[in-house]
A and B are shown apart, each in its own frame.
Chain A
Amino acid sequence: MSFLIDEGRNIQHLLMGNEAIVRGALEAGVNVAAGYPGTPSSEIIETLSKVARDRNLYVEWSTNEKVAVEVAAAASFAGLRSLCVMKQNGVNVASDFLLHLASSGTRGGMVLVTCDDPGALSSVNEGESRLFAQILEIPLLEPGDFQEAKDIIPWAFALSEKIRNVVMVRSVTRLSHGSGNVRFGSLPGTSARAEFVCHGPLLDPETGPIISMILAAPELQHGPQQEKLKKAAEIFETCPFNTYQGPDEPELLIVTASICSLYSREAVRILGLEDRVGILKLAATWPLPERLVKKHLAAAKRILFVEEVVPTLEDHVKVIAAEAAGEIGAKTFYGKKSGHLPSVGELNPDLVLDALARIFPAAAGTGPAASPGGVKDIPQRFTPARGMTFCPGCPHRASYWSIHNALALDGRGGFVCGDIGCYVMGTLPAGFSTVKTLHCMGSGSGVASGFGKLRSFGMDQPVVAVCGDSTFFHAAMPALANAIHQRSPFTMILLDNRGTAMTGFQPHPGSPTNVLGEEAPALDMEKICRSMGAKVETSDPFDLVKTREKLNRLLEYGEGAKVLILRQACALSPEKRGQRKYEVSVDAERCRGENCGCSRLCTRIFGCPGLVWDREKEVSRIDEMICAGCGVCADICPAGAIVRKEVAR
């Protein structure tokens, strides 16, 4: 049994931020949780799934984030408490439904947890979900530490039920993936009954249908929605997670939220400015509690905003300051706009230290000597420089090898439209720089569908899209449907590595099991594509020759959309992990090394980390510790020097 359903009240556990959010949801008596995997959010649904049976929860990995919110909304409509979870990009996907949900309102408490990734540590962008709260006109809460990550969730559920609308809780990578002590509260009972009461009058929020249908009468729904937001703002004035520490009349007021509050506290302490600088840590960041903010602004002449990425808190507080200027006087602001803090990338205590040192020059240098260039540079100084690459035994390396070669041999300037997954590295030497466009989930196939229609403008380059198996279901099927219907001659390559590999093998509709490990109907991508009308081929990417030949034939094959499924499980998948198909070794006598006829193809171009160039002996060798035994390198070696032997079972 997971310690997360420990009944013991007041005991402390060391929890990851995402686990704290889970415990918070359990203490809130959540009934339904849905999400789509995405770092740094994935552990929340996974952890909930582990206690689902014990706590009588329904948990699912949905096909995409929009569906996840819809699934969670249904639970809310039926009077249950529901949670939906995603990373920042997911909110973009879900935003269409969310906008309408915010308009129709909810019944049972519904909380949207989004885990943003400032610095894009595991993302293709550092887009912000905070701004969505404004667009959707729903309240936003940002926990500032691990205890709050737990405590804020039941509070958010209660708020959702008070205002009858969805409440957004935003975490960031360092909170979701960092760990801290969390004191547990009590768990409620697990009985819950769902019923959708919907036969009342059209606009009755208690008994009527739940619809978002303004139809030229905004006052009917939009008006009440804004009233809900005003109510939330009022509640936020006394939100227990808005805190202040520091003197009554600080020389500088730091206004901050989320994990940045910890950076602020650390920097203030290091510089010994506790008696001079106050920290207003807001957890309720949209709509802002105006009276609370105004009270603190009035007490200080100078304000520093400490928040990550774009200036959001900064802008909103400045509006309050402008409106209250007659009352509280003119202020000097420091933050992104003044250049004291960057508006790209993560913050850290060093950056806040620098900003404070610029405001308090005399205090600079009083703290312990910071590392030259900051903490962030330490790893760079002690680890060898190396490019991002695929794992040993990764099917994507083999797939890109064949795709790259097929396009080079085809010779018509063909290119690949990329998509989201580990295979984004197709843009890099790891994937032989094969991918030439890269955006969001499913967009590779949509963009390729468009490129395919440019033949009438003289574009004769072959167009290829790559798409993962999870991505296929998430967002690429509409693009394929479009391409087929519009007769767009592109080749979609499904990199089927048997799971949502990048985020940790979460099941998707093509998987034979669900999040609980129960048997589930697996949708057959090959049959789907064929019945949609595409010409479909399948190949094992580890068979380099056949894969390349099949792809070249598809590229030659005239009109319409074509699909090549490259099926091989991820090297880290549970079914493969720790099992080598081949023992691989290098015959040093035959290795041509840097000579004409090879020029270190395996270590210089193919680049599997399991292959190592021995500088002294001037031959390649296998790093047996990490070689996954896929044996593909034996097929690329021009000298037959890489030898593979099947491992006896």
Chain B
Amino acid sequence: MNHFGSGELETAVIQSELCIGCGACVRLCPYFDSYRGKTALLFPCAVEKGRCFAYCPKIEVDLDAITRFLHGIPYDGNPLGHHRGIFIARAGEKVRKQPFQAGGTVTALLVYAFRSGNIRGAVLTNRKGLLPEPRFVTRSADVYRASLSKYTAAPTLSALNEALDKGHGNLGVVGTPCQVTAVSQMRMNPMDKPGFKDPTALVVGLFCTWALDFRRFETFLAGEVPLEKIVKIDIPPPPAQVLEVYLEDGKRAFPLDRIRPLVPDTCGYCPDMTAEFADVSVGVLEGRGDRNTLIVRTERGERIVREAEKKGFLVLEEMPRENLEHLQWAAGNKKKRGFLRSREAGKVNGEPGKTLFRLAPECLDGVFQDR
């Protein structure tokens, strides 16, 4: 693996505007910190090979190594990533009723994982005003508060680093594809720390087409609506093509054409729509705003999903073929776009320390040929 330090990370990621502000490098040390959605290197660090660089999902991501670590097989470029099953899902009757983004599947899984003792803590993203706020929680009751989508990039993993620093283990983590990639790299113990034990017990990935730059989004919304009255933000599935802002006293819809300029450039390099390195991944089911798509990927993920279903926390249905095909098509498109952009920038299998992704060249060809 090509590992470097904070200086290379700052040059190749932060200054190159590849940083999404996931928080993977924050709270590991005093040098990186996050403020209003942006990560900054405060002072130069003298460590040549740091965890910051090793965890970062925007530099030297060895897709083959991660897939081998998680599943024992090489990365194959499948649009949806390695998986064991795909379902329609929603929260069951054991989960408290409240407004969910869609079917409440993520909340249901976390609540069950807490209640069953599968996890003893969870890293989530709350919201303070419009600002996403990383949270480490240790009770299922706290899960509900984090239940709505934020749409802006968030330094969630800083809360994970903080929890690990305090010695917490058996953790649930909920994150976007970039955050899940960082978590998987962290789980691989890249610094070969002796006595290392995977601190995660359940990694839940969230589908993501792109995230919004918090500062740009806030500036945009501040000119349109009273920020303090926002209760929920939603991007309903196509063909709507709008971002909806629910206010205490109504709703405003903004065409996505006005919203897309608020997407950070770095999202254009991303080939992962469904958080392929999670235990389970969750998104909104196309055509049904009150249901989720659930992709089950790992053995431990499958076990928790099945138990949650059995105990009434989760309701699963078969995924119809046409939905599946459309999901595959959408994820494949993002994968092609992301790899194409990355390759054009010389960031696939390129110079050590400046490369975004590493994967077998024939696999990359496969992605581009795949119809």
A contact residues vs B (CB 8 Å cutoff): 404-405, 408-411, 432, 552, 594-601, 604-605, 636, 638
Contact = CB atoms under 8 A, between A and B. Distances in A.
Nearest to B54: A596
A642 to B, nearest CB: 12
A408 B42 contact: yes
B47 A405 contact: no
Interface of B: 28-31, 33-36, 38, 40-43, 45-47, 49-51, 191
A600 B40 contact: no
Contact of A596 (B33, B42, B47): B47
B35 A411 contact: yes
B46 A409 contact: no
Say what secondary structure dominates the interface of chain B: loop
B50 A596 contact: yes
Given A409-B35, A594-B47, A599 B29 contact: yes
A600 B46 CA distance: 9
Contact of B38 (A409, A598, A599, A604): A409
Contacts of A408: 33, 40-42
25 contacts: A405-B33, A408-B33, A409-B34, A409-B35, A409-B40, A410-B35, A411-B35, A411-B38, A411-B40, A432-B43, A552-B35, A594-B46, A594-B47, A595-B47, A596-B28, A596-B29, A596-B51, A597-B29, A597-B51, A598-B29, A598-B30, A599-B31, A599-B45, A600-B46, A605-B43
A200 B237 CA distance: 94
Give the residue among A432, A552, A595, A596 with the most B Cβ atoms within 10 A: A596
Contacts of A410: 35
Give the residue among B30, B34, B45 with the most A Cβ atoms within 10 A: B30
Given A411-B40, A599-B29, A636-B30, 19 more contacts: A408-B33, A408-B42, A409-B33, A409-B36, A409-B42, A411-B35, A411-B38, A432-B43, A596-B49, A596-B51, A597-B29, A597-B51, A599-B31, A599-B46, A601-B31, A601-B43, A604-B46, A605-B43, A638-B30
A409 B14 CA distance: 12
B132 to A, nearest CB: 16
Nearest to B49: A596
Given A409-B35, A411-B40, A601 B30 contact: yes
A408 B191 CA distance: 28
Contacts of A411: 35, 38, 40
B39 to A, nearest CB: 9
Nearest to B28: A597
Contacts of B45: 599
A606 to B, nearest CB: 9
The 4 closest A-B pairs by CB, nearest first: A409-B35, A599-B45, A638-B30, A408-B40
Contacts of A432: 43
A409 B45 CA distance: 16
Contacts of A598: 29-30
Nearest to A638: B30
A601 B47 CA distance: 11
Contacts of B43: 432, 601, 605
A636 B31 CA distance: 11
B277 to A, nearest CB: 23
A57 B132 CA distance: 66
Contacts of B47: 594-596, 599
A605 B30 CA distance: 11
Contact of A405 (B29, B42, B46, B49): B42
Contacts of A404: 42
Nearest to A639: B165
A411 B32 CA distance: 12
A604 B44 CA distance: 10
Nearest to B161: A597
A638 B165 CA distance: 10
Give the residue among A405, A594, A600, A636 with the most B Cβ atoms within 10 A: A405
Contacts of B31: 599, 601
Contacts of A596: 28-29, 47, 49-51, 191
Contacts of B38: 409, 411
Contacts of B40: 408-409, 411
A408 B38 CA distance: 10
B8 to A, nearest CB: 14
Nearest to B29: A597
A410 B29 CA distance: 19
Contacts of B35: 409-411, 552
B251 to A, nearest CB: 28
A581 B38 CA distance: 36
A263 B33 CA distance: 56
B5 to A, nearest CB: 9
A411 B36 CA distance: 10
Nearest to A549: B35
A411 B10 CA distance: 13
A404 B42 CA distance: 8
Contacts of A409: 33-36, 38, 40, 42
A67 B204 CA distance: 70
Nearest to A405: B42
A117 B68 CA distance: 70
Nearest to B27: A638
